[in-house]
Amino acid sequence: MKIKSYILKNDFLEVELLNLGAIIRKVEMKDKNGILRNMVLSYENIEDYRENSAYFGAIIGRTAGRIKKGLLNINGKKYQLDKNNGENNLHGGYNSLSHKFWNVKNISKNSISFEIFSKDLENFFPANVKIRVDYILDKNELLIKYFASADKLTYINLTNHSYFNLNGTKNLEKKIYNHSLTLKSDYMLFLDSNYIPKYVKSTGNTIFDFKNKKLLQNFFSEKDEQKKLVNNGLDHPFIIEKNKKFMKLESCESGIFLEMITDNPAVVIYTGNFLSDIDFENHSGICFETQEVPNLFYNKALKIYPSFVDENKNYERYTKFIFNLINYYEKNCMSDICFSL
Ligand code: FUC
């Protein structure tokens, strides 16, 4: 099938999407100097998206993240999923939703819908599932809405896998070290040696405390076992508050900042720790994969439960990306740090 590209555009943002994987290939806006910047990592050759082993910009499903030994347990019934990441299932297995062609519906200047039908036992997941992902552009905001309905009990956990680099992907500093991150998260998940979420940990007094704005350079220069485990970086789920802006990522080099809001309970933050495997630089992008805590994790105290769906209960979620320019007269601007890097 042919890969087709679609553009959403307004005065502030231009977004390019693909029918393959419902991928975001471009999110472009003008930086502080009026220069257009594409803020997501992308392939210049559109054909490279067929392989896309790093899931650039793709919708991930049916299940984001890792499922231990690929064993999906739904109400006592076990389904053996693909083991496509060592012993585990990652991002729904081989040839999952990120690598399939979606049907395009309702295209306008500001919005587009992608639909896909995933039949019973496709990728070994139970239930016939209809999925729809809407991208809606409104001024400086890009909203992603996720819908899924199933004809019997199953588990669904969708996300988008864009790698952000607010310097734009050309000319300016390639790594994300001169970005600063504020993340409103008191709890995170530490991982076992197979990257499966192991236990809840308070972020306080750890290098993973981003409640006050932190330059990523400072995070990357710290020593820590969990950071080392994932090949030097972040690849961890953080628990967030729903329907509140939970994070702010800023680049004082371009003057662009990004905020996010979602009704998901968690975000997996991944700092592109293996991008050199695909001839990109490690840490040249950062993903905020809003989702449930992977591996059907549950925790009563934090009210975290897996999102089972069935013929009576649909899956419905959203994530919004809000782009803006930093006010350079703000006291907080970290431009000194930026230029001394
Ligand atoms: C694994 C995941 C990351 C990311 C990457 C492509 O390392 O844990 O979140 O999806 O694959």
Q: How would you write the pLDDT of the chain (341 residues) with one tens digit per residue? A: 999 999 999 999 999 999 999 999 999 999 999 999 999 999 999 999 999 999 999 999 999 999 999 999 999 999 999 999 999 999 999 999 999 999 999 999 999 999 999 999 999 999 999 999 999 999 999 999 999 999 999 999 999 999 999 999 776 678 999 999 999 999 999 999 999 999 999 999 999 999 999 999 999 999 999 999 999 999 999 999 999 999 999 999 999 999 999 999 999 999 999 999 999 999 999 999 999 999 999 999 999 999 899 999 999 999 999 999 998 555 444 444 454 44
Question: Distance, CA 120 to ligand 1 centroid (Å)?
Answer: 26
List the catalytic residue out of 16, 28, 289, 292.
289
Question: Distance, CA 328 to ligand 1 centroid (Å)?
Answer: 34
Q: What pLDDT score was predicted for residue 340?
A: 41
28 classed as catalytic: no
List the catalytic residue out of 16, 28, 99, 161.
161
User: Does residue 280's CB lie within 6 angstroms of at least one atom of ligand 1?
Assistant: no
161 classed as catalytic: yes
Q: What pLDDT score was predicted for residue 125?
A: 98
* Residue identifier of the C-alpha nearest atom 5 of ligand 1: 54
Strands 235-239 and 66-67: unpaired
| Closest ligand 1 atom number to CA of residue 287 | 9
* Residue identifier of the C-alpha nearest atom 7 of ligand 1: 235
Establish how many alpha carbons lie within 13 A of residue 186's alpha carbon, considering only the half-sphere containing its beta carbon.
Answer: 2
Q: What is the arrangement of strands in the sheet containing 247-251, beginning at the earlier edge strand?
A: 103-105, 111-118, 129-138, 141-150, 315-325, 256-262, 247-251, 179-183, 214-215
Query: Measured between alpha carbons, how far is residue 331 from residues 232, 238, 326, 328 in Å?
Result: 31, 29, 11, 8
User: Does residue 235's CB lie within 6 angstroms of at least one atom of ligand 1?
Assistant: yes
Q: What pLDDT score was predicted for residue 172?
A: 67
Buried b (16+ CB within 10 A) or exposed e, 219-231: bbeeeeebbebbe
Beta-carbon contacts of 197 under 8 Å, excluding residues fewer than 6 positions away, are 189, 190, 191, 237, 293, 294, 295, 297
Q: Cβ atoms within 10 A of the Cβ of 4, count?
A: 12
DSSP code of residue 98: G
Contact present, 180 and 214 (Cβ < 8 Å): yes
User: Does residue 56's CB lie within 6 angstroms of at least one atom of ligand 1?
Assistant: no
User: Does residue 270's CB lie within 6 angstroms of at least one atom of ligand 1?
Assistant: yes
d(CA 300, CA 273): 32
| Closest ligand 1 atom number to CA of residue 268 | 9
Pocket test for ligand 1, best of 59, 88, 91, 226 (most atoms within 8 A of CB): 91
User: Does residue 148's CB lie within 6 angstroms of at least one atom of ligand 1?
Assistant: no
* Residue identifier of the C-alpha nearest atom 6 of ligand 1: 54
Q: What pLDDT score was predicted for residue 327?
A: 81
Beta-carbon contacts of 251 under 8 Å, excluding residues fewer than 6 positions away, are 166, 167, 178, 179, 257, 338
d(CA 154, CA 308): 6
* Residue identifier of the C-alpha nearest atom 8 of ligand 1: 235
Question: Distance, CA 139 to ligand 1 centroid (Å)?
Answer: 30
Query: Measured between alpha carbons, how far is residue 296 from residues 127, 135, 242 in Å?
Result: 17, 26, 18
Q: What pLDDT score was predicted for residue 328?
A: 59
Pocket test for ligand 1, best of 55, 96, 158, 235 (most atoms within 8 A of CB): 235
| Closest ligand 1 atom number to CA of residue 64 | 10
Question: Distance, CA 277 to ligand 1 centroid (Å)?
Answer: 13
Three-class secondary structure assignment of 69-80: HHEEEECCEEEE
Query: Measured between alpha carbons, how far is residue 140 from residues 173, 302, 320, 340 in Å?
Result: 24, 33, 10, 30
The token pair that represents 337 in the structure block:
């740090």
Contact present, 111 and 8 (Cβ < 8 Å): yes
Establish how many alpha carbons lie within 13 A of residue 73's alpha carbon, considering only the half-sphere containing its beta carbon.
Answer: 6
Q: What pLDDT score was predicted for residue 271?
A: 98
Contact present, 231 and 276 (Cβ < 8 Å): no
d(CA 108, CA 117): 22
The token pair that represents 159 in the structure block:
């996300």
Q: What pLDDT score was predicted for residue 85?
A: 97
Beta-carbon contacts of 6 under 8 Å, excluding residues fewer than 6 positions away, are 16, 17, 18, 19, 104, 107, 112
The token pair that represents 255 in the structure block:
């003057």
Contact present, 220 and 175 (Cβ < 8 Å): no
Overall pTM surpassing 0.85 (yes/no): yes
User: Does residue 125's CB lie within 6 angstroms of at least one atom of ligand 1?
Assistant: no
User: Does residue 237's CB lie within 6 angstroms of at least one atom of ligand 1?
Assistant: no
Q: What pLDDT score was predicted for residue 173?
A: 74
The token pair that represents 118 in the structure block:
């995933």
Tell me which residue of 115, 47, 75 sits closest to 309, measured CA to CA: 75
Question: Distance, CA 57 to ligand 1 centroid (Å)?
Answer: 12
